[in-house]
Every structure is written in C-alpha cells, then in structure tokens.
Amino acid sequence: MEEKGGGKRKIRVLVGGVFDILHVGHIHFLSQAKALGDELIVIVAHDETVRRQKRREPVNSAEDRAELLRALKVVDEVYIGSPGGIDYELVKRINPDIVAVGPDQRFSCERLKDELKKHGINAEVIRIPYLYKRDRAKTSKIIQRIIETFCD
C-alpha cells in the first residue's frame, strides 16, 4: 500500500476484548494479531460490556486493563470501548486494514465483515487460532483455579 509521497502505508490491525486477567493466551493472541501488520490497536471492553457479556464484575477496571495493555511492546494503541458493544464510529476513526478476532470470541467473521461494511469500514476479518491450551489460557478457568486453590 502506497502513501502520498511514495512511502509505504502501515497496515493497522485492530483487536477487541476484555483482557481482564492478562494471561499467556492473551499474549499469544496479541502477538499473532500484531504479526498480521505493522500497528496493533486494542479496544478494551467497557466495564458495562464485561458485566453484560460475562455476567460478572470485571476483576480489573477498564482503565487498569488498558494501562496493562499499553505496557506491552506488541501493542501500539489502546482505547476503551463504549458500554453499548461495538463502537463502529471508533472503529471507523481507527481505520483498520485487518480486524483480528480471538479464538474464543463469539463472532462470525463473515457477519462481522458485513457489519463493518455497512458502517463504511472495509477491513479484512481474520480469526486467530488457539496456540495455547484452551483449558488453562482462559480468565474464567484462572478464576476457578484461584477459588479452588485459595478459598475453603
């Protein structure tokens, strides 16, 4: 992709997620997503979204989760999403070339691509495969192990 002045335009990859207790599964997902392009932008789920989707309180606030993600070398930018779900105006401003979907995210890639197009966003949608043991690299499983190990 060419930019004005003959320079090469950077490929922007966008991911979204809760990232409540940062774990190795998240690191693998973010690393694989970054490998798809030059810049990795993350939208962290709003606390209200976590409550609605996970039916539990987030362990860490959206602000804390965003700060942790900003500290990772692989992440270039972090935004906190809106409470209502996918904020297509924010996605449009980010202008991604690729939207990477996590292996356990309940999105149909085709449906998401169609929704993006309806909002004037022409991005490729790619599902990232599991690289790690799915029974261990899940926040819900980590919470369960903590309760079983440390609570009587």
| pLDDT tens track for 77-130 | 999 999 988 899 999 999 999 999 998 888 899 999 999 999 999 999 999 987
Question: What is the structure's pLDDT at 104?
Answer: 81
Categorize the per-residue pLDDT at 73 as very low, low, confident or very high, splitting at 50, 70 and 90. Answer: very high
Which is the CATH superfamily of the domain at 12-150? HUPs (3.40.50.620)
Question: How many angstroms separate the CA atoms of 2 and 16, rounded?
Answer: 27
The residue behind tokens 């965003």 is 66
**Closest listed residue to residue 25, CA positions, set 110, 125, 140, 113:** 140
Question: What is the structure's pLDDT at 152?
Answer: 64
